[in-house]
Structure 1
Amino acid sequence: MEFKMREVGFSADFEYGELHVAGNEEYGFRPYQLMVSSIAVCSGGVLRGILEKKRLEVEDITIQASVKRNEEEANRIESIAIHYVITGNDLKEEKVDGAVKLARKNCPMVRSVEGSIQITETFEIKN
């Protein structure tokens, strides 16, 4: 990856398109937004794959993420709460709970921040 300085922030070209990153969200995605997005979407993608392998009928997954930052520590991310809203047919709470726990163990982004950012996951099922 190569990031090039812009008037405000940096940019990088990727296969999908150009990414703009800046401390001011008028000029690009803020770094903490990208970190939270990476963790939430990676975790959700792993969860989706596990649910499919378990042959559970999932129609939709919405991920809600909330972040707690510490202003006294350079505004570092202290914790991220991930809440999955999973819509499907005949989904059982114990099976989804097992899949969420397995997804946590297999998400490279979650595993990368273990010990420095507290990650919690909750879910609700809409049948």
Structure 2
Amino acid sequence: MIFNMKEVGFYSDVEYGKLNVAGDEKHGFRPYQLMVSSIAVCSGGTLRKILEKKRMHVEDITIKTEVERNENEANRIEKIFIHYLIKGNELAEHKIQQSIEIAHKNCPMAQSVKGSIEIIETFEIVN
């Protein structure tokens, strides 16, 4: 990827389109938002594949995130809380919990920050 400077922040032309990144939300995505998005969506996508392989019919997954940052350490991300709202029929809680654990071990983004950012994953089944 190539990032080019603009008046506020940087941009990159990627296959999907233009990616604007800046410290100010008025001018692009903030870097921490991209980090959290990468981890949450990678984890959610991996979870979805695992649930499909287990033949669990999932109609929808919503991912809610919260971030804990440390102002004393350059405002670094310390923890990411990921909460899955999973909609479907005849979903077994223990199978979903097992699937989340497997997904965490197989998500490249979560594994990339292992040991530096704590990721806490929870879920609930919604109908």
CA distance in 2, matches of 1:65, 1:114: 18
Kindly report which structure 2 residues correspond to 1:18-33, keeping only aligned pairs within 5 A, or say none. 18-33=18-33
CA distances 1:88-110 after superposition (whole Å, capped 9, x unpaired)? 01001011111101000000000
CA distance in 2, matches of 1:126, 1:32: 29
For residue 4 of structure 1, what is the aligned residue in structure 2?
4
For residue 105 of structure 1, what is the aligned residue in structure 2?
105
For residue 54 of structure 1, what is the aligned residue in structure 2?
54
* 1:65 CA drift (Å): 0.5
* 1:18 CA drift (Å): 0.3
CA distance in 1, matches of 2:88, 2:13: 37
CA distance in 2, matches of 1:55, 1:111: 26
Amino acid at match of 2:36: V
CA distance in 2, matches of 1:126, 1:52: 17
Partner of 2:24, secondary structure, is coil
* 1:84 CA drift (Å): 0.3
Kindly report which structure 2 residues correspond to 1:115-126, keeping only aligned pairs within 5 A, or say none. 115-126=115-126
TM-score, reference length from structure 1:
0.99
CA distance in 1, matches of 2:126, 2:8: 43
* 1:126 CA drift (Å): 1.7
Q: Percent same amino acid among aligned pairs?
A: 68
**Deviation beyond 4 Å, 4+ runs, structure 1:** none
CA distances 1:53-108 after superposition (whole Å, capped 9, x unpaired)? 11101000000010000001000000000000000010010111111010000000
CA distance in 1, matches of 2:10, 2:52: 37
Unpaired segments ≥5 residues, structure 2: none
Amino acid at match of 1:120: I
Unpaired segments ≥5 residues, structure 1: none
For residue 67 of structure 1, what is the aligned residue in structure 2?
67
